Structure 1
C-alpha cells in the first residue's frame, strides 16, 4: 500500500472556510478606513490650498477669484483642483476655501 501524503478534501474545505471568514471580517474594516483616509486627505488638501491662497494674496495684493486663476498664476498645479475623494474646492470672495458638498 502506498503512503500518499496530502490534504483531504475536508481539510481543504476547512481552510477555505477559515480564509472566507477572515475576508468577511477584514473587507468592511478596510473600506471604512479608506473613507476615513480620503476624508483626512481632503482636510489636508483644503489647508494646503488655504496656504496657497494666502501666498497669492501676499504676492498679488488681492484674493484669487477662482481655482483656475490660481492654476494660471502657478500657485496650484492643474491636477490639484479636487480632493482625493473627488470633492471639488472653491474659493470665496474673501479668500475662504470651501469643499463643495462638504
Structure 2
C-alpha cells in the first residue's frame, strides 16, 4: 500500500527551474541595457540640483561660486561624488552648470 504523500516530483521541480532560468535570461540583459540610461538621467537631475544651488548662492553672496565653495558653505554635501555616470560637474564664469566627460 502506498503512502498518500504530497510533494513535488523531480520533473515538476525541473520545469520550475527551467521557467525561472528563462525569466532570468530575459530580464538580466534588459536591466543592464537600461543602466546607462538610468545613470544619464541621474546625472541630469544632479546638474539641475547643483544649478539651483548656484542660483541660491548667487542670491546670498552676489558672486558665482565654485564647487568647493558650494560644499564648504553647505549648499551641497561635502561627500557629493558628482554624476553617477562618471561625468564631472563644472560651473562656468556665468554660473552655468554642465557635466563633462573626464579625460585621462
TM-score by length of 1: 0.81
1:32 corresponds to 2:15? no
Report the Cα distance in structure 2 between the residues aligned to 1:75 and 1:5, rounded to whole angstroms: 63
Report SS of the residue matched to 1:90.
Answer: strand
Shift of 1:71: 0.9
1:52 corresponds to 2:75? no
Distance of aligned partners of 1:81 and 1:18 in 2 relative to their CA distance in 1, 3 Å threshold: closer
Residue of structure 1 in register with 2:21 after alignment: 20
What's the C-alpha RMSD, in Å, of the aligned pairs?
2.0
TM-score by length of 2: 0.80
Runs of 5+ unmatched residues, structure 1? none
Report SS of the residue matched to 2:64.
Answer: coil
* 8 Å CA contact 1:50, 1:96 repeated in 2: yes
Residue of structure 2 in register with 1:72 after alignment: 72
Residue of structure 2 in register with 1:85 after alignment: 85
Could you list the per-position Cα deviations for residues 55-96 of structure 1 after superposition, in whole angstroms to 9, with x for gaps in the alignment? 1122222211x2111111222111234123343211112212
Equivalent pairs counted in the alignment come to 101
Runs of 5+ unmatched residues, structure 2? none
